[in-house]
Amino acid sequence: MRKTFPTLAQAKAWRQEAQVGLRRGTLNAPVKVTVREAAEQWLDEAERGVVRTRSGDRYKPSALRSYRQVLQRTVIPEFGHLRLSALTRSRLQDLVDRMVGDGLGPSTIRNTFLPLRALYRRALLQGVVVQNPTLGLSLPAHRPKRDRVARPAEAEALLRALPDTDRALWATALYAGLRRGELQALRWGDVNLEQGVLRVEHSWDHVAGLIAPKSRAGRRTVPVPEALRGHLVAHRRAHRSTEFVFEGSAGPADGLGDGEPSCPRRVEEARAATDRPP
């Protein structure tokens, strides 16, 4: 490592600090790999399952698509030309402050640094860098509102207002608590109406198709309450020949937003109808 100083005293002071850093393991020679190159390598390894989450699971396809978008839209244009070891916390904090000044929301700002944090966590583990500049940033507070659980009477009113083709889908969402992707991936082989249970074995990604659930705890057995059972029995009579419970003309995703108008829009229209006085 070489540096030039205007005075001999400054040079000696830096040399002494560098020697202390070497002994403590907080200083090493700067690497030549750039942020852009490191990001491309990280994405490639994450897609192949080499790089995994802190819990040891593969990254979900949707998460990697989001990471790639953030890196290409913001991180690489800002820092892609820098060496990985040259990116400092102060540079990142400057970007945070600029995004706050531009009026971007807290979740958008925090999500911008998620892939960069994962990238440096990997580089630190490999000994490529000795510090993670993404740690200790001052980020705006993010306090999302908690999802509101529909009351039984409200759920019943909503289901009555829905078209017949949508009732089983939203009854399963309301009474069994399945996520969107889990509803799309639910197959008749996972539903046992005689025993009154259904198994969540997969989720659905609109690009990758069937994938593992969101977490390890996502693979589970869910009881089918009587309020839901009737909807599923009627739905099975009409869709016994399909593999997926909520399969439409374009596949499992068709029942949840690919039609015109989309299923979510039909539900909002039904909700509005239940809110109007008779």
What superfamily does domain 31-125 belong to in CATH?
Tyrosine recombinase, N-terminal domain (1.10.150.130)
> For the chain, how are helix, strand and coil distributed in percent, rounded to 5?
55, 10, 40
Q: CATH for 152-275?
A: 1.10.443.10
**Is the overall model pTM greater than 0.75, yes or no?**
no
CATH code 1.10.443.10 region(s) in the chain:
152-275
Q: Residue 28 — pLDDT band, cuts 50, 70, 90?
A: low
pLDDT at 118: 95
pLDDT at 260: 43
Counting Cα atoms < 13 Å in the Cβ hemisphere of 246 gives 30
pLDDT tens-digit series, residues 228-274? 999 999 999 887 778 889 876 445 555 454 444 466 676 677 667 66
pLDDT at 66: 95
Counting Cα atoms < 13 Å in the Cβ hemisphere of 160 gives 9
CB neighbour class for 151 (10 Å; exposed up to 12, middle 13-18, buried from 19): exposed
CATH code 1.10.150.130 region(s) in the chain:
31-125
